[in-house]
Amino acid sequence: MGSDSAHVTDLINKLALEFKVCDMGVPSFFLGIEIILLSGGMLLSQQWYMKDILKRAGMVDCKPVATPVSTAKAETGVVVPYADPTHQSFVSAHAFSSTADWAALKRVLRYINGTLHLGLKITSSPSLDIHAYSDSDWAGNPDDRKSTSGFANTKDSLMFLQRLLGSYL
């Protein structure tokens, strides 16, 4: 996988001192993630898993949407128990019990259907710089429009990572 086989072998030997190591060859599927080798890197994809979820939910041909949650403010009202036998086993297995829950779940499944082609591309680089990116959800709370997530990239966390990986680089 690495460009310098001597460094890869050295890393594997160092890991073998602490852990049981087994070389299984070039990875293709690991922990639900498909690994697609590309020239100069790899693509990590969960397309197979996502298609399986859509199939079990009976939503393989659903219309895709661009966001996992509606941008309109949710209405609160009477909770109506979910009673459609078509999807009942899928809904109960995922702890959804009302029609509002099922509507939210369908929205997420439609979003998944629209993102099947996405993955994480990892490429080699001569630089050892670490770059971090974040997708914030400004005004993510529909009730008070406050942000509900964030990401901090501090010098201390990068220094820790550098010390952790330093002997292997």
pLDDT-based confidence at residue 109 (cuts at 50, 70, 90): very high
Q: Please report the pLDDT score of residue 65 as a whole number.
A: 92
60 and 117, same domain (yes or no): yes
113 and 54, same domain (yes or no): yes
31 and 111, same domain (yes or no): yes
65 and 135, same domain (yes or no): no
35 and 115, same domain (yes or no): yes
Range of weakest confidence among 12-16, 58-62, 136-140: 136-140
Does residue 10 fall inside a structural domain?
no
Does residue 13 fall inside a structural domain?
no
Q: Which residues pair with 44 in a beta bridge?
A: 35, 120
Q: Please report the pLDDT score of residue 127 as a whole number.
A: 77
DSSP states along the chain? --S-HHHHHHHHHHHHHHS------S-SEETTEEEEEETTEEEEE-HHHHHHHHHHHT-TTPPP-S-SS-SSPPPP----B---TTTHHHHHHTT--BHHHHHHHHHHHHHHHHTTT--EEEE--S-----------TT--TTT----------HHHHHHHHHHHHTT-
Give me the domain span that covers residue 48: 27-124
74 and 116, same domain (yes or no): yes
For the purposes of burial, counting CB atoms within 10 Å of the CB of 146, is it exposed (0-12), middle (13-18) or buried (19 or more)?
Answer: exposed
Residue range 153-169: mean pLDDT, rounded: 52
109 and 135, same domain (yes or no): no
What digits encode the pLDDT tens for the residues 16-46? 999 998 878 778 888 889 999 888 888 999 9
Does residue 147 fall inside a structural domain?
yes
pTM: 0.60
Does residue 6 fall inside a structural domain?
no
Does residue 59 fall inside a structural domain?
yes
47 and 82, same domain (yes or no): yes
Counted domains in the chain: 2
What digits encode the pLDDT tens for the residues 67-107? 887 777 666 666 666 666 555 566 555 555 677 778 888 89
152 and 113, same domain (yes or no): no
51 and 97, same domain (yes or no): yes
120 and 134, same domain (yes or no): no
